[in-house]
Structure 1
Amino acid sequence: MESHEGAASGRDCVLDFSRLSLNTFNGDSVGDQRKKDTKQLYLNYNRLTSLPSSLSLFCNLEFLDISNNGLTTICEGITRLVKLKTLLAKNNRLNEFSLPKKFGSLQLEVLNFSGNRFEEIPLQCTKLVRLQSLSVGGNRLKSIPSEIESLPCLEMLYLGGNLISAIPPEVANLPRLTYLVLCDNRIQGVPPQLTRLHSLRSLSLHNNLLTYLPREILSLVHLQELSLRGNPLVVRFVKEMTYDPPSLLELAGRTIKSRNIPYFPHELPSNLLRYLDLASKCPNPKCAGVYFDSCVRQIKFVDFCGKYRLPLMHYLCSPECTSPCSSNPQSDAESEDEHSVQADRLQRVLLG
């Protein structure tokens, strides 16, 4: 078995066994001294179904690429690679049960599990306290564990191409997070807590199920890229919004709430008391009305970092509120509708 040794400085050694169609990697064929000197080891694009225990003899290994194989497990021996900083294991058959229990004890800084069969992010990964980059894209993830907040050094989190339906607020507890990629999922909302990500530069949310963005996202003043294409928020640019007239029940409830008519628990059935508690105030500052089930949906654009406009969904109590709302002098950032905003100003935010 011949290794392709790349350029290295001093006694550092790079061993490249990629694309050799190996059925197994025979680590014993490499001399003991070379094992100790090897800093980078490439075993990608082979037919490996498991890693040999001899892998642990590469005691100074810092970079390991085992991508594009047929691996279903990662052996316990990998936990003895105490200097390993980068592990690339893309496009294998790994899942949340494939990692050794002590995997979290590694000093990894870069971990790539994209293109595997993970339905959950293994909790061992949330114990990699030095991890700076985590990629688990193109898997079968349905959620992001709250334990993700245990990665204080994380700068890049790539979870695109999964089945994730929600962003847990714990993501906001990652102080160094700079790149957050959640495209091609099933996410329906963005938690306002994400505004605590003061280091965030790029947020990819395209091809999800978003219908609105929280106003708080405007406080992400360092955000340079926001990708929203392929969401109902953008696709519908909704002006064809239907408005169902309020029911008699709602009209009565609106009257009680807007006119502050007093009522007491012993006077009304419990279901009506619960209904009255569901009243939502109209966001139009010139309107004192409320709504329950019947409301007017409206897209308004607000200023984004002084350069772009972000679409936000408003829910108003009646069609008459749409014009006064936009003319409110205290809401200058909301005063432009979609016809008055130039396309090139929206492109980077909406389609980037």
Structure 2
Amino acid sequence: MNGVADISATALHRETTELRPIKLACRNLWKLFGATAAQFIATQDGRASAEDIASAGLVGAVRGIDLEVRQGEIFIIMGLSGSGKSTLVRCMSRLIEPTFGKMEFEGRDLLKISEAELIELRRHRMGMVFQNFALLPHLNVIENIAFPLSIQGMAKAERDSRAREMIELVSLKGREHFYPRELSGGQQQRVGIARSLATNPDIWFLDEPFSALDPLIRREMQDELMRLQAVLKKTIVFITHDFDEAIRLADKVAIMKDGEIIQIGTPEELVVHPATDYVAEFTRDVQRAKVVSARRLMQPPDGHEYGGSVSPDARISTFSSAIVSAGKPFAVVDGSGQILGEVTPQAVVALLADVGERNRSDGSHRL
């Protein structure tokens, strides 16, 4: 290492997304299952407890959701099985009809548009990738990728040209004429990704797209997604139950439980400042060095001789080995080279050893 840690491109991206316009928003969104669901929540004016819902003989799959997804952001929704995360994403695209509330796309309420407008929106501006790949077994790679373009009525030459561009993008060149059964799981998922991108969607919904893959291929696909996002800069809503996956990919994370969102924040905010004991438990086994930034650990500069310098947003894991080896503090510097503070080897070692006030009995959950 030359003494200067690279500024985290992901961290910079997370900062700039806060300044971008809202692409998609849920406003007090509900999805209740049961014969009287719509009447019930309307008479409650969009407010009901879990006990009220159960007493009415209904099931509250999505309850009072408020969230905003900004343009170019990777927004991850997490939760255990049955928490409502897949139902929520299907409500966002109206694959499932919400019972109450607003579902806004670029400020327009999707629940008030016509069926024809919704079909047009799905065909041209939304992309979806699901866990089971959903490839058509009788079509080869190029035909699978071109399929949504044929639904749009695009001429064959044009859609084949677009499909070949997508094949290049997801590194499947040479497999254009393979059938799904002739591809590995990771290759099949690449075809699913390429197909969803063929229409050049403005927003991309991914429902646990990598959970059926083995760990090595899953890691490769996460790398692939980050590579594609660096090129395409899509607005992405991504479902996962894996917090390590969320750490790698997310700008923002929403944690769901029993149909409600418990907390929304960056991965670091969720780990360092959990809003509830449930969030603290959910993030308990996360390797904190992967999440915590130099900004979080820095203290005022003390005129030390520094062994190197890091960006305030650099994750501890990216320079922990270097700072411990140097045995000297690292300066935390901004883009202009101004020293904002310092991180000491002792603070890094304490974090790596999980020493401090984490999960204190007083419930503060501080570092």
- State TM-score, norm by structure 1: 0.27
Instruction: Name which one, 1 or 2, has greater alpha-carbon Rg.
Output: 1
The higher-RCO structure (CA 8 Å, 6+ apart) is: 2
